[in-house]
Every structure is written in C-alpha cells, then in structure tokens.
Amino acid sequence: MDSRLRAGVWTVVGSIFIAVGSTVAALAAFEDRVSVVLFGFLVFIFGYGVSQLGTYSAWTERDELLGNTSVGWHQALRGGLLVAGWIGIAFGVTLFTQTILRPSLQKAVLSGLTSITGYMAAHVGINGVGVGESVFGPVLSVVQKTPYKGGRSDD
C-alpha cells in the first residue's frame, strides 16, 4: 500500500475514534459523569495516536527500557503525570458543564484550575516538555538522574 494512502487510512480511522470519544465526553459531562468523560477522553487520545501511525512514533523502543531502572522510573512518572492530567481534565470539563447548567463563580474557577493543571501535567507526561515543565521538569530530571536543562535536550 502506498505510504500516503496508508497515512490517509490511519488518519480517517483515528478521526472516527476522535469524534466518538469527544462526543461521549461532551454528552457525559452534562450528566455529571466524570468517569465516562474520562473514558471519552481516552477514546479521543487513542484516536489521536491512531491518526498519527505511520507518520510519527510516540513509543519508546522496548530495548531502551530493558535493564535501565532510571528510564523505567522516568517513564512510570511520566505515565503517572499523564493519568493524573487526564483525570484533572475530565473533572474540570465536567465541573465546567455543571457550571453552565447551574452558574457558580467558585465552580468556574475550580473548573479552570483543574482543567489547566490537568492539561499541563498530561502535556509533560506525553512530551516531557511543555507549559508545565517548569513545575514537573525538575522532578523528572531527578528521577532520570540528569541535570535539568530547562527545555528539550539536544541529544
């Protein structure tokens, strides 16, 4: 199969998952169902990953992880940031939709804080860098036992 055609197929399949996941998340948020919103986000994220197959690879090679405890802990911490971020985003979005239904300044502020903090944590969990890097970067650096460089490394 032609590489452009293959990339197009993955994009379409991924987009279907993105549409389904975002729809589930949006509808469940208005019903105050954080766990279903989280599930919708996970389907969305799966679709995002599927849409990038063949073009990008976001996965660490298995051989790089074997026998390297530092890399293993680093990946585990990034995974923890990712999960915590997803939960924060799901909670914040659900709280925001509830604020639309029953206005509350306090809930609106809490919604914004949890959504933004969740996004920052998830972004650092996925990419290792981002807006939340100033908060989470030094922690990742300690676990990885490398000096914190304040951005992407050149290696």
pLDDT at 52: 76
With CA atoms as reference, report the closest residue to 24 among 107, 111, 93: 93
Question: How far is CA 88 from its chain centroid?
Answer: 10
The model carries a pTM of 0.65
Q: Tokens in use for 51?
A: 């849409």
pLDDT in tens, 33-68: 999 999 999 999 898 888 877 555 444 454 454 555
- The two structure tokens encoding residue 106: 């306090």
DSSP per-residue string spanning 126-145: HHS-STTHHHHHHHHHHHHT
Residue 141 vs residue 153, higher pLDDT: 141
Tens digits of residue pLDDT in 96-150: 999 999 999 999 999 999 999 988 888 888 776 665 566 666 666 655 555 545 5
Q: What pLDDT shows up at residue 155?
A: 44
The residue assigned the tokens 């990008």 is 56
